[in-house]
Amino acid sequence: MLRISLTGCILAFEISGLTVVTAGDEKSAKLISARAETAPTLDGSDNDGVWTNAKAVEVVAKRVMPGKEGSTRVSIKSVYTDTEVFFLFRWEDTSKDDASHKTWVWNKETKKYEDGPDREDAFAIAFEFKGPFNMDMLAGVESEWDVWHWKAFRTNPQGFAMDRRHIYTLAKPEFKAKEYKAKNGKKVWIARPEDAGDTVEKKHAAPTEFKGDKVPQYSAGSPTKSAADVRAKGAWAKGHWTLEMSRKLDTGFKDDVVFSREKTLKMAVAPFQKTGDMDMASGVIELSFSRQ
């Protein structure tokens, strides 16, 4: 679950031309997408010359789960063309974890398969879509986010990120959703549906009989329609992930946010190091588009 919370205050300063922002609850980081004549090649590298014209913003993503501490700095750049928007993310990660995720492991005592301890690295972006963009999922505020979820094992080999929405409603919906108690005491239902089309990953139920000590729970899918909107490619080297993502400014699908040069859009990012829990996130980032 992508859990984003705001704590503390923002401190902004300059280091060699790089704007560094510690996310908080009063101000926002400012990310300006630079105009580009040509699109960068999505290969998980920042060596493409297109990126030199974009100014980097650095935010600090913090652990948000109770009792946990830690933070990760994320450097962000963005460029856009007449038809697409592109993002470049770079963050520290001590190990490359992209070989497997939650492999089914046979329990000899119970004679059943269970989730294994293996976890992949991942990264998510949330964009405001409908309603207020409140960064606390348990605030009890009705809203809807457009979320891109890149996964080092499950989506990176295919060159995509999972495209989905997060829906928060105070009335029990007819569609699948989980009930939580909001911080204001109200009940809130949270749904995370994928966009329309075939998914980028395939989830497999645990076999009902022994098929080996370990059985993959996930395999690659071929996304279609709106589920195939977000292209993404990440590469790990020397203790860092570099991730490039892209999408059309306007996909024409109703389940996608529209990027406009005339509008400032709120967003947030969340890096996950070898975890199945969405336990780290930045504060709000304001995305705007350069006219030049």
Q: Is residue 44 part of a domain?
A: yes
What's the pTM value of the predicted model, to 2 decimals?
0.88
Q: Is residue 126 part of a domain?
A: yes
Q: Is residue 4 part of a domain?
A: no
Q: Which domain holds residue 245?
A: 12-289
Q: What is the DSSP letter of 258?
A: P
CA dihedral 117, 118, 120, 124 (to 10 degrees): -20
Number of compact structural domains in the chain: 1
Q: Is residue 269 part of a domain?
A: yes
Q: Is residue 114 part of a domain?
A: yes
Q: Is residue 5 part of a domain?
A: no
Q: What is the DSSP letter of 160?
A: B
Give residue-wise pLDDT tens across range 250-275.
999 999 999 999 999 999 999 998 87
Give residue-wise pLDDT tens across range 214-237.
999 999 999 999 999 999 999 999
Give residue-wise pLDDT tens across range 70-79.
889 999 999 9
Residue 5 pLDDT > 50, yes or no?
A: no
Residue pair 116/218 in contact by the 8 Å Cβ criterion: no
Q: Is residue 74 part of a domain?
A: yes
Residue 246: give its domain's CATH number: 2.60.40.1190
Nearest to 139 by CA among 181, 173, 193, 191: 181
Q: Is residue 2 part of a domain?
A: no
